[in-house]
Chain A
Amino acid sequence: MKFELLVTLILFILLFLKLGNKEWKNESLLSVVNMLLLVNLIAGFFMNQDGELFSGMFRTNLTVEFEKNILNAGTLIISLQATQWLKNHKHLLEFYMLLLSTLIGMFFMISSGNLLMFYLGLELSTIPLAAMSNFDLEKRQSSEAAMKMIMSSAFSSGILLFGISIVYGTTGTLNLSELSAHLDGSPLQLFAFILLFTGFAFKMSAVPFHLWTADVYEGSPVPVTSYLSVISKGAIIFVFVSVLYTTFKTLAETWYHVLSLTAVLTMIIGNLFAIRQNNLKRFLAFSSIAQVGFILIGVSGSSQLGTASVIYFILIYIFSNLGAFGVVALVSAVTGKENTDDYKGFYKTNPMLSWVLTISLFSLAGIPPTAGFFGKLFLLTAGAAKGNYLLITIAALNMIISLYYYLNIVKAMFMDKNEQPIEKIYGGTTSNLALLICVAGIIIIGFIPQIYEYIYSISTGM
């Protein structure tokens, strides 16, 4: 419970700050919040314990704690990146309260030992997110994004609940660890599984349930978009893996096929749509859909290797994607430009930011020596353990398609000429620090094999 209590504590501190008489300046508030988040992150590494609470509703172990640490780190980086955007925002504290509520929701979701608990955590993490999407209060697009988000999540939650109720009807329990013994693959249970899978696919934005993603990503403020694409996606994937591997392990035959089909569709459609995007946020949205496809390939390996590779990939993905989003957020906050064409000639005026974006994109594309290379190849390796090389070949060729559009951005920055390139941008210390953390993470993680070894040692297979 340590993680949840800490975040709740921070939430209360912010609440008192808000209620207090003193008028705080945004800058000082931001530094207070960032310090609190840093403390939160550091505290996450100490005093860890295994165990269960509330008669199995809430459980925790080393894997879960590591996953929560990853999410904490990502949240801190996003908060650092958001300074440029938040520094003049009237509702700074509300933003953080919503953000932290979703974080608590995700923590409960990851720790859940019961489908109801999982549902509770999921809702807690989704509904404030919709409010966050609406945080560019004066922009119509932003409220449109929030509306789409709330509608689609309500819809997917409904499907999920339907699935959960059928599961309860056929097995008489909702406890995740007890369920697997009761699942025998009867048609009704398969139906329930498909419903649950659909619910998950909605939240992960796997094809064909991805349609909300691009619009929501485009409309939301960039920090919210990055939070959606990294933290919230990471959390749901963590849960997805553990539910598939423990609860539904008796149905492994069935879900393997569903999963590989979804993975292939997700990769191909995500990639093909990403090629055609001109808005960088939309582009990153589709590229993140494609990344989910790769993750699903790793999940399909259903072994210790699979779990470890997925966690490792998400750790790297946080750094790579936040590196890319960090630059986009900065440019968007200062100049309001978000299109690929605007980035033409970017290198001439902003060499440092160009390199950060380039390295991040290379990491997303899986090019060495960036960490993304290792992350992606381990996913493929985990998937290949099943011996389905057709699937792996499709995935490998999809990496080439994705390389095409990532390189297109690099081309725009380095090679294309532009009459009016984006002017020189200075992001301030905090955003630079955030970008530095991302770049350092991208470059270093692959060369510290102990990280992967640790993740492997704490992961469990099916």
Chain B
Amino acid sequence: MVNQTKQKKTSWIALLCVAALLLLVIILENLSAWTGVKGILAPTSQLFTVLKKAAVYSLVAVSMNLLNGFTGLFSLGQAGFMLLGAYTYAILTVPAAAKDQVYYLYGGSAIRYSVIDLLGKLFGSSGAGGAVSLILGVLIALICAGLVAALFAWLIGLPVLRLKSDYLAIATLGFAEILRAIFQWQRLGPVTNGANMIKQFPTFTSFNIKNAAGREVLRLSTFVPFLVAAACIFIIVLLINSSYGRAFKAIRDDEIAAEAMGINLFRHKQLAFVISSFFAGVGGALFAMYVANAQAKVYTSTMTYEILLIVVLGGIGSISGSCIATFLYVAASEWWLRFLDVETVLGNGFKVPLLRNGFRMVVFSVIIMIVVLFFRQGIMGDKELPDLLRRRGRQSKSAAAEETEGGHG
């Protein structure tokens, strides 16, 4: 009983922390407009690119962790489900007026409507009405993106989830590769735009609030991916802490014992797979918003490995580990190590050795190897942030308990 109230308290604190983080993002993003400080806080700064990408990737990493870390299913289909989400989102939200231009090779799109246009008819397409139809339309498209990915997961889960460990990984990897080829198929051009990218759909910058004169009043382009990712991760955390989550972990620990306890193995694996893919689909849609286009050729197995690497670095079975690792990984690869790719000449013509295009990835690989060597379990192991804070208190308490026990003996 005591522990339950304690847990409730920690989850409230966690929720408050997330709210504070979101608020901080808004402030950070608008600070340069409010104070006039440029540099790192300028809207075009690498900082915001990294924050946006990391927010998107953290959702995908957590969704992969749900499957690989909490249910013990080694799946490598994440990029495939992201692709499904990205295309679903893009196809549903390209404005009708822009379709001819985007699909010019195919004489316009086979899907003539866009969710946002349809909502625009209902709420109006400018001013507050426009904002409502944009937000609602993007929300609906994001959910559809997740649902399409989930549907495909359900279908391929029927045969594939009966496979074990490595075979499951190979099958899901193959599925993702096949999807990538299918989406570039010319025959599907009127829907997928063939090998060309789909563009001109609402992105994160569409959410920046502008006044009548067209000047930005409040920037929300970093806040939006944070909000969506945080909401999705929150749902995943609730799932993991529910009795379903406990069943997932039981399956991970010991399939036979879980089955003997009456847990239906296939149904629960299917559930974890579908939910993980749903959020990978949403993540894919967010990724399309981040890069402002949807094209099949970026959703390669390399992307899946990148996410797998993040999950392993953060700790298999730790949600907060995945989030922290994502931000460190994205910041290091996209920002902090960039200088290694630029040939630098110091003072009187001294050319710094080794610095040239591609050197960044060499250093990055070495750093990752070192991290993996020293943190065998990943940064967080299977612990969460609140666990680490709580552990100190409990350690001293259990030490005291043992002492009294020893006294009785």
Physical interaction between A and B: no
Residues of B at under 8 Å CB distance from A? Answer: none
Residues of A at under 8 Å CB distance from B? Answer: none
